[in-house]
Structures are given as structure tokens and as C-alpha cells.
Structure 1
Amino acid sequence: MTAYINSQFKHSNFLIDIDAPLTWHDCIVKWNMYQGSCPDNVLCTSPVSCDEYICTEVQTSASYESPYCPRIKDTISSEGFCACTVNVNNPVDWPCNQALLNFDTFFVNTTNGRNPVPGFYAAFSNAACAPASSFQSFPANVTGVMAFSSSPYSLLTSLDQPPLKKTFSLCLPSTSAAPGIFFYGNGPYYLRPYSNVDVRSFLSYTPLLKHPGSFGYFIRVNSIEIKKRSIDIPGNATTKFSTIEPYTTLRTDIYNFVVRRFSLVTKRIPRSNPEAPFGLCFNTSTNGAKVGLKLPDIDFILQDGKKWSISTANSMKHIREDVACMAFVDGGATSEHAIVIGTFQFEDNFLLFDLENSNLGFSSSLLRKQTSCANYNFTMGSSTF
């Protein structure tokens, strides 16, 4: 929620980016925030002057850097004020945009872990205003990028207030018909039908790692195993999480192994012609009758021997009624990261990013626990206890 106007909240839709250094959205900066100065149906925020210390800090540490970005030039407003300009990255089609740094406020619901409860939480944050034209390539009605990275200017920093722990959890649904969940804070977390089972009891943990020059989140994958055969991942290879990539990408050498091995252990299943961006597809119907696919897990073997099992629900993408494809993509022979875990593999997996202890909690598929990310109770409760 991005504003509280006339005794009600204004809701906006944001694209979640767990790598972005800064939140930016469709708004305008106004030097004089007197009543009536903001046009109807436009969100106005207070600007940051180019003379302020925070301007230089954000421009040097959180502004998107690329040889394709224009050189940052501070903007002089019609009132003669100097506004702080920052470069931001459009993660949908990758052009560099220029936006004006502001002082922003975001409001979030509070919860007891079972359902929302009365009250809200105000997060005061630096963000940036970009023109509406910057979001033309975004999904319908999405007018911003919300940064949930480790950057000091992401929204997480603004939420980091006692007694909340610096922990966030993400649970993406497998259907657009239901909302997913983002939690910030200590827990507990409950999903129906388990009224008294904390989802944290389902989790295994592995260390979160840092990568130079990135505000994103990384883990160590030692090997990938399919039906007792595995490929070792080099010790210097990185595995990154992305809420921008729709499918997990694998460096070409790793991708080729996974496709060959998966193809071998599923050789009895009829093939379909590959359809971009996928390299291995299956026919899911025989003589007009739909056939259930019985496929092996693809196991990511992590540090300390922990195993993230990617089951059929997260390894196979149904692209038509009679065609399903292995939902991994060739990332190229020289990709910066050996593995980038994309959002299809997030679906119905509960991921807990414990930033205080630098750990990732992961559930593998919740469907095996007879629940899902769509099973949170969004009915407003009456108490915080």
C-alpha cells in the first residue's frame, strides 16, 4: 500500500525483485506538498535534493551501473530545485531508466502468522519515482519494482525495526487465481489445513552466501542428482535466486548433463518436439487420454549434504494440454552464475531468508505436505495474539 488518502489506503502492484538495489515506481516528486498540488490518481512523494548526502550515497552504491546507462545528471525542477537522479534497471526488458530519488512511505498488513489482523505497519524508505512510460512492458497493472534485496536501500531495511527479526519468507502460488505470501519478521507461519503446525517445522537450512557486486542471495550447490547419478558443481560456481527469471537456468555443461540424464531415465515416456525455451518435452496424452507423468526428482545437493528436491510439480511445465516440458533453460556456456533458480521452482516452496544468521530455510514442494502457498488464510482476524 503506497498512500493513505481520504481515510483509505491506495493499493499498488509491484514486481518483486530480490536483487534490485532500490525500489522504484510510478509516482512524481513534488517540492510543495500542499493540499491540491498533486493531480488526481497520481501518487506524489517528497523529493531528495541533489545537495543531500543520501543522494551521493545512493548514486554511488545503489544506482544501476551499465555502459548502456546514461550518465547521471541531476534534474532542475520548474521551481528551481535540484532533484537527485538515479539510474534504475527495468528487469522486464532490461533498458536503463532514470528516476528521481524520493522519501517514500509504504504500508503493510500485520499478521499473527495465521491470518491478517487489524493494524498496519508503516515503512519509511528511500525509493525513486519513474514516469508511467517506464512500465509499459510490465504485466498489466504493475507499476513498480519492489526491492527485497540485501541493499541498504531495499524495503527490508525500512522494515528492520525491533522486535521484528531480520527475516523474510516468500511463498509463491502455482496459480494466478490465488495470492501468494510475503512475510517479514519472526514467525510463526501457518498454512491451512494445519492450524497448529508452523511451516518452519517443514524446513531444512543451508547457508546464504554473498557475491561481490551483488545485493542478491546465493547458496552453494555441490551437485545435482537424478536417480542416483550426479554431476558435481565446481566449488567456485555460484547459485543465485531470481524472482525475475521465470525458469531455473543452468550453465550449458550442467544443463546438458541434466537433460541427458533426465532423458535417459524417462525414455519410456513419449516425446514431443521441443518448444522454446525448453530442450526436452513430453507428450502427456495417449490416444486422446491424458497420462499422468511419473518422473524422478531432480535433487540439488547443498552444503552439509542437505537436499532440495525438485519434484514433478516444479520440474515440468505444462505448455499445452498434451505437452509438458522440463522447466530448465540453457543459460549459455559463459553465464556468470552456474545456476540461477527461477520462479517456477519457487512455486509452492516455502523459502525463509534468515538475514540475521545468513541461512536459507527451504521446504521443497509443500504439495507433498498436502498444503500449498495458496493456503494462507487471508480472512481478517480480530487480535494480534
Structure 2
Amino acid sequence: MAAFLHFLLLLCSFAYNFNTSQSKHTHPQQKGAIFHVTKDLSTLQYITQIHHGSPLQPTNLVIDLGGPFLWLGCPSDSGSSSSRTLISHCSIKCLSANPNTQKSKTSKCETFPENRITQMATQGDLAEDIIALPFVDGSKTEPITAVNSYFLFSCAPKLLLKGLATGARGMLGLGRSRVSVASQIAAAFGSKPQFILCLSSSNGVVLHDNGEYGSYFVSGVSGSLTYTPLVTKVDSPHEYFINLKSIRVNGKQLSLNYKEGLGGIKLSTVVPYSTLESSVYAVFVKAYEQAAVAMNMTRVDSVAPFGLCFGSKNIDGIRVGSRAPVVDLGLQSEMVKWRIHGRSSMVQVSDEVMCLGFLDGGLEQKTSIVLGGHQLEDTLLHFDLGASMLGFSSSTLMDQNTCSDLGLGFGFKDSM
């Protein structure tokens, strides 16, 4: 807890004013990039803002943790930005974005952006343009500075924007690819490939740590995080998976017979609530209901889309998880577990009803559990791509501090 408080104090000590500088070169003096993240309450999507193009224009994007790259709904011509250029299909940049590309019928580099909320995909063109990112200076005393660099992204037809939050013009991919935003920041600034994600129902952040100055962001909390290996799935190489060995509800292990290949967890910011493969969901819901009834919780009629709901009128402390069953996800061993308290497992749908925030993902779901946004909120996640490890905060670490505290510490609402 002391380490996390120290971390917050360090971050909040930065001034809130921004200076903009123009450059196409690397910036080794910069500490790391910072994205402010808010939650759109109508769609439950997580939104960040970048400034891109010439002249710089504010652009809202939906965060896609497993997305392979940034894509934008682009106009048919490049008139909206004088600095935007299309990438040739025979270039190294095209090969980085699409290693399986074949000879194109045109000179443009073809990409295949996907709206992973609606699961609609289409053909797009790889492009490059200026993006201004807020960076912390390595001196630890200078104000946050907005630094301009050229970044690759996919220009997609505007029809792909359907289903995104109002005002969003695309999706910012943080996935495990050479042209994701996370990878491009690391390459451009000569930094270690890693970032911190801290989502909130209000103000969250994504921090891209340089590492050159002793991993300033990470050092404040890494000693308080639990680490587990990231697992690569051949059919979804860009997304983030971790092992799943067991599920316990209030300490009682569930008896599960995983289908071949199902024993895993995927982390997702485009799924609002966690989903379980149908056979896993059936066992889990039954065990959760039994544990809840044993704690004198009263089941009430379900409220869509949730399948299990309880009365909450006379329950105190649910927001800190003290009066609902505890879920433990055993990861690579029984000694390493991801604990989900009531504040993360339950959703308050009215003054008198709360529901279990886990949904039936269907028989076709390829992993046992997809941990969605609600369960990821107020859990500090450290993605160390170089070591292929995920660090996550314990429930104790976040009891008195939320990701909203961290987001508000940067005060981005009046930036740039």
C-alpha cells in the first residue's frame, strides 16, 4: 500500500500545463507517453483522445487492448491532413504491419482493420501521420510535454465506425504486434516495450514507461504486483491471454472439465462484462448462487443482460466487496491467483438490485473466461511485453486507491 501511495504522489507532482514541440525524430529524454481514459456510460466503452494530422485535430478513439494497430475512419482523400501519406505495399513498413501480405494490385499497403465490438472487418490502407502524445520529461521536474511523432495507422471506411461511442473516430490498438500503439511508442522512443493500464468507471490512464531512467512508473508499484506469464494463442496472436488452472468461489474449487484448449483467460477492454464459456458458466453460476445464499443474500428476478441477481437494499459494504462471495482465479499455479471481490464481480443495476457481472459467452467461446472491462477496473495492470509477463495489483493494493485517483492526478481535461 505504501508503495502505491508513493507512486500516486510522484505522478500527481507533475504540473498540468502542456507545451507542444514538433519533431520527426526520436526523443530519448522523454520518460513515457500518457493517455487519459474515460468511460462512455452509454456504450461502456473506454475512450482516449489523441491529436493527429496537420493541423493537429483532437480525435477520440476507443481503447482496444488486443487490437493489432490504430485505425481511423478516414475521408476518401487526404485533404483533412497535409502530413498524411499512404504506405507502399513493397515497403518495410507494410511488411511490419502485414507480414503475410501478398503482391497488391495497387501500390497501396492493404490492411484489414476490425471493429472488434461489432466484429465487423473490412479492407483499409496503411498510412502515416503526425500524432501528438503527452510525455513526461525524464528530469522528473519538468511539465508534461506533448511530443509529435509519425505513427502508422490504418485508414478504414467510415462504415466501420458503426457501434462505437458517439464521437469516436476509430480504435487505438495496444495489442502484441509490431505496429500497435504500444510497440510504436517503444520503438520511436527507444524504450522498453511495456505499459500500464488502469481503467476506471470515470478517469483512468494508460502509461507507456520508457524504462531508460530506472522504470520510473513501474518502480513505484512493481514490488506490490503479482506476475503471471502471458500466453500466445496461434489464432489470436495480438491479444493478451494468461493461464487458468482453477476457479474457486468463497474458497471452494469448482469441478470443471475444460474442453480442449479452453483452459485460459483473455483480457479485453471491448467486452463490458466478463463472459464464460457456457459449460463453465453453468457450473460457476450455480456455485456462486449457493455461496451467496449461504451469506444470506436473496435472489431476485434477473435483469438483462445478467443471469443472476440479488436484492441489495439491506446489504452494506458491497462496494468494497465485503458482503458478496469472493472469486479466485488460479493462474499458472495454486499459489498465484487473481482475486475478484464483490465490487468487481457485482454490478449495481438499481438501488435495490445488484447482479453478477459475468455473462454466458456461448458454446463457441474459445477461452474459458474473457475478463471484461468491469472486472479490470481498479486493477493496475503492467504489461511487460519484453518479458512476456503480466503484473496485476492485489485487492489489498487497490482497497483505498482507485484508478480514478491515478487518472485525476494528471488532470488532462484542459490539456493541449
For Structure 1 versus Structure 2, the TM-score category normalised by the shorter chain is 0.7 to 0.9
Query: Secondary structure at the residue paired with 2:390?
Result: strand
In 1, Cα distance between the equivalents of 2:156 and 2:53?
A: 20
Query: Secondary structure at the residue paired with 1:129?
Result: strand
Matched ranges for 1:176-187 at <5 A: 176=202, 179-185=203-209, 186=211, 187=215
Match of 2:328 among 279, 288, 299: 299
1:238 aligns with 2:267: no
Alpha-carbon shift at residue 295 of structure 1 (Å): 1.0
Match of 1:278 in 2: 306
Match of 2:130 in 1: 105
Contact 2:96 2:179 in 1 (8 A): no
In 2, Cα distance between the equivalents of 1:4 and 1:315?
A: 41
Alpha-carbon shift at residue 14 of structure 1 (Å): 1.0
In 1, Cα distance between the equivalents of 2:155 and 2:62?
A: 15
Amino acid at match of 1:167: Q
Computed over aligned residues only, the root mean square deviation of the Cα atoms, in angstroms, reads 3.0
Contact 1:22 1:62 in 2 (8 A): no
Amino acid at match of 1:250: L
Q: Please list the CA deviations of residues 271-295 of structure 1 after superposition, one character each: whole Å capped at 9, or x if unmatched.
A: 2211222211011125xxx755411
In 2, Cα distance between the equivalents of 1:280 and 1:374?
A: 28
Q: Please list the CA deviations of residues 88-123 of structure 1 after superposition, one character each: whole Å capped at 9, or x if unmatched.
A: 111221222222211133222113699993323444
Unaligned runs of 5+ in 1: 32-37, 64-71, 76-81, 191-196, 381-385
In 2, Cα distance between the equivalents of 1:60 and 1:83?
A: 15
1:205 aligns with 2:227: yes
In 2, Cα distance between the equivalents of 1:85 and 1:4?
A: 21
Q: Please list the CA deviations of residues 59-79 of structure 1 after superposition, one character each: whole Å capped at 9, or x if unmatched.
A: 55489xxxxxxxx9756xxxx
Q: Are the structure 2 counterparts of residues 107 and 167 from structure 1 closer, same or farther at C-alpha, using a change threshold of 3 Å?
A: same
Alpha-carbon shift at residue 314 of structure 1 (Å): 0.5
Contact 2:186 2:193 in 1 (8 A): yes
In 2, Cα distance between the equivalents of 1:127 and 1:201?
A: 35
Query: Secondary structure at the residue paired with 2:160?
Result: helix
Q: Are the structure 2 counterparts of residues 100 and 116 from structure 1 closer, same or farther at C-alpha, using a change threshold of 3 Å?
A: farther
Match of 1:228 among 244, 248, 251: 251
Query: Secondary structure at the residue paired with 1:255?
Result: helix
In 1, Cα distance between the equivalents of 2:68 and 2:125?
A: 15
Match of 1:331 in 2: 361
Alpha-carbon shift at residue 184 of structure 1 (Å): 0.9
In 2, Cα distance between the equivalents of 1:276 and 1:127?
A: 37
Alpha-carbon shift at residue 310 of structure 1 (Å): 0.3
Q: Please list the CA deviations of residues 306-356 of structure 1 after superposition, one character each: whole Å capped at 9, or x if unmatched.
A: 111101110001122221100001112342111111111110000001111
Contact 1:284 1:292 in 2 (8 A): no
Match of 1:128 in 2: 154
1:87 aligns with 2:112: yes
Match of 1:10 among 57, 81, 95: 57
Report percent identity of matched pairs: 27
In 1, Cα distance between the equivalents of 2:142 and 2:283?
A: 45
Amino acid at match of 1:225: R
In 2, Cα distance between the equivalents of 1:149 and 1:205?
A: 19
Alpha-carbon shift at residue 265 of structure 1 (Å): 1.4
1:342 aligns with 2:372: yes
1:359 aligns with 2:392: no
Contact 1:105 1:125 in 2 (8 A): yes
Q: Please list the CA deviations of residues 217-236 of structure 1 after superposition, one character each: whole Å capped at 9, or x if unmatched.
A: 11111101112211266484
Match of 1:378 in 2: 410
Contact 1:188 1:200 in 2 (8 A): no
Amino acid at match of 2:86: P
Match of 1:188 in 2: 216
Contact 2:137 2:144 in 1 (8 A): no
Amino acid at match of 2:169: T
In 1, Cα distance between the equivalents of 2:94 and 2:190?
A: 30
In 2, Cα distance between the equivalents of 1:44 and 1:252?
A: 49
In 2, Cα distance between the equivalents of 1:368 and 1:3?
A: 34
Unaligned runs of 5+ in 2: 1-49
Contact 2:299 2:309 in 1 (8 A): yes
Match of 2:121 in 1: 96
Contact 1:27 1:44 in 2 (8 A): no
Contact 1:123 1:159 in 2 (8 A): no
The total of aligned residue pairs comes to 344
Q: Are the structure 2 counterparts of residues 62 and 73 from structure 1 closer, same or farther at C-alpha, using a change threshold of 3 Å?
A: closer
Match of 2:292 in 1: 266
In 2, Cα distance between the equivalents of 1:246 and 1:102?
A: 30
Alpha-carbon shift at residue 256 of structure 1 (Å): 1.6
Contact 1:23 1:146 in 2 (8 A): yes
Q: Are the structure 2 counterparts of residues 366 and 167 from structure 1 closer, same or farther at C-alpha, using a change threshold of 3 Å?
A: farther
Match of 1:167 in 2: 194
Match of 2:17 in 1: none
Alpha-carbon shift at residue 300 of structure 1 (Å): 0.7
Query: Secondary structure at the residue paired with 2:132?
Result: strand
In 1, Cα distance between the equivalents of 2:340 and 2:223?
A: 19
Amino acid at match of 1:378: F
